[in-house]
A and B are shown apart, each in its own frame.
Chain A
Amino acid sequence: RRMHLVCPMNTSPHVDPQKSGHEVWEEFAHSFTPAVREVVEFAKKIPGFRDLSQHDQVSLLKAGTFEVLVVRFASLFDVKDRTITFLGGKKYSVDTLRAMGSSDLLNSMFDFSEKLTNLGLSEEEMSLFTAVVLVSAHRSGIENVNSVEALQETLIRALRSLITRNHPNESAIFTKLLLKLPDLRSLNNMHSEQLLAFKVH
Chain B
Amino acid sequence: FSDPASNLGLEDIIRKALMGNLEERQE
Contact = CB atoms under 8 A, between A and B. Distances in A.
A116 interface: no
A130 interface: no
Interface of A: 29, 33, 36-37, 40-41, 44, 54, 57-58, 61-63, 65, 191-192, 195-196, 199
A199 to B, nearest CB: 7
Contacts of B18: 40, 44, 54, 57-58, 61
B4 to A, nearest CB: 4
Interface residues of B, number: 16
Given A36-B13, A196-B1, A62 B21 contact: no
A40 B14 CA distance: 6
Interface of B: 1, 3-11, 13-15, 17-18, 21
A36 B1 contact: no
A58 B15 contact: yes
A62 B7 CA distance: 11
A195 B11 contact: no
30 contacts: A29-B9, A33-B13, A36-B17, A37-B13, A40-B13, A40-B14, A40-B17, A41-B17, A44-B18, A44-B21, A54-B18, A57-B18, A58-B14, A58-B15, A58-B18, A61-B14, A61-B18, A62-B5, A62-B10, A65-B5, A65-B10, A65-B14, A192-B1, A195-B1, A195-B4, A195-B8, A196-B1, A196-B4, A199-B1, A199-B7
